[in-house]
Amino acid sequence: MGADVKSLMCRSGENLLSHYRLVTLLFVSAIAYSAHACVPRGGPGGSDPQHFYGNFQTAVASVPDKQYQVYWLGREFRAGSLTFRGPEIPDFGAAANRDSMYVSYGARLSRGGVGLELSLLSPVGWESARGSYGSTPPGATSRQIMVAGSPATIIVIPAGTRPVNELRLIVHFRTTTVLVIATAGGAATPGGPDVNPLIDEETFLSVMQQLRPYPQ
């Protein structure tokens, strides 16, 4: 098996594991979910981004008793040389309920794509999630910061030879906790930068300052 194939399999496995953890936590009482959160079907790998944005709009409107404010990053944002578009929700899965909503943004690469995961959580939703996502894993580092005028925690998680395999941000707004996860996609060339520019902490936090209530 060639090195390129092995590398692709490793990246896919890491992305699947990250996505599985998040979905199991937030929607454990619901259904099995798509394994392509890091490559949203309406973004890098899809053909109809407007359709998946429509799913997001429907989700916002169809949970009238939701206990949280919806936050977003607009229809698109730049990170490095890439344009990330969204927010998107797939056609199947319990992506929104009264205590949580799961959305993603994605950017195209020459092969596949990279993405960003956002979970919007009510106080009840955050209490369910904080045990798994609010603590700092072994080997990781964390610090308190301010994001969009609100207190936040950034957690930097390494893996193997990667000093940063995942960036996790927890922002506490007045009625909503926003959990944001960016995962490494691997280097396009040996020794080169990661294909996901959001794995760079400075770039990641610059984008996160754009978090705002929907539809602003």
Distance between CA atoms of residues 101 and 214, nearest Å? 13
Tokens representing 178 are 């926003």
Query: Which pLDDT score, from 0 to 100, does residue 84 have?
Result: 97
Query: Which pLDDT score, from 0 to 100, does residue 146 have?
Result: 98
Tally of domains within the chain: 1
The parent domain of residue 118 ranges over 3-213
> Please, which residues bridge with residue 84 across strands?
77
Query: Which pLDDT score, from 0 to 100, does residue 63 have?
Result: 87
Query: Which pLDDT score, from 0 to 100, does residue 48 have?
Result: 72
Residues 6+ apart with CB under 8 A from 84: 43, 73, 76, 77, 78, 105, 106, 107, 115, 116, 198
Query: Which pLDDT score, from 0 to 100, does residue 93 have?
Result: 58
Sorting pLDDT into bands at 50, 70 and 90, what band is 199?
Answer: very high
- pLDDT, greater one: 79 or 39: 79
The string of pLDDT tens digits covering residues 51-88 is 899 999 999 998 889 999 999 999 999 999 999 999 99
pTM: 0.80
Lowest mean pLDDT among 14-28, 56-70, 147-161, 201-215: 14-28
The string of pLDDT tens digits covering residues 136-189 is 999 999 999 999 999 999 999 999 989 999 999 999 999 999 999 999 999 888
Query: Which pLDDT score, from 0 to 100, does residue 26 have?
Result: 44
Among 199, 190, 178, smallest CA distance to 115 is for 199
Among 130, 166, 174, smallest CA distance to 150 is for 174
